[in-house]
Amino acid sequence: MELLILDWLQTHLRCGFLDAALPVISWSANHGEIWILLALVLVLRKSSRRQGWTVALALVLDLVCCNLLLKPLIGRVRPFVVNPAVELLVSPPLDASFPSGHTAASFAAVFALRGSGNPLWKPALAVAVLIAFSRLYLYVHWPSDVLGGALLGAFLGWAAARTSARVYAGLEKR
């Protein structure tokens, strides 16, 4: 079923504009760059420092859970390995497929922003959805990888916001 979805995207949505735009969008989150940069900018501004640390915590939680634990443990093969006839527009990723790390990091940042009360969560959500879609369009993740990454990221972002709120509340009591 998942292969049918990916093949449908290739057949019906593949075009020059998306072939050019989606690799760039995907690249912006190859190692969480866009979200790390956002966290850094927020940390450097006094008015948003707590929110920046919350995003940073969410990204660290994502790195540990997604890349260090789940991907090696599950070891799922990527779709382009199953269907090598598809022309890849990006360098083939070498790690396991589940969950999508790009998607997990993106949704972790979004939910950390939302949970910490930063209004940037809305445009960040639009970027996260584009990044998640790019992983399907580029044929490097199964739909369940992207869904799993979104759910994992949302939970980790929420957990980071809760943890951050408790830590800052404890610091304010001192």
Thinking of the domain 2-173, which architecture would CATH place it in?
Up-down Bundle (1.20)
How many whole angstroms separate alpha carbon 69 and alpha carbon 92? 21
CB 143 within 8 Å of CB 3: no
C-alpha triplet 108, 109, 112: angle, nearest 5°: 85
Distance set, CA 139 to CA 79, 99, 131 (Å): 6, 14, 13
How many whole angstroms separate alpha carbon 132 and alpha carbon 139? 11
What pLDDT, in 10s, does the model give residues 66-95?
999 999 999 999 999 999 999 999 999 999
What pLDDT, in 10s, does the model give residues 4-55?
999 999 999 999 999 999 999 999 999 899 999 999 999 999 999 999 999 9
How many whole angstroms separate alpha carbon 38 and alpha carbon 34? 6
pTM, 2 dp: 0.94
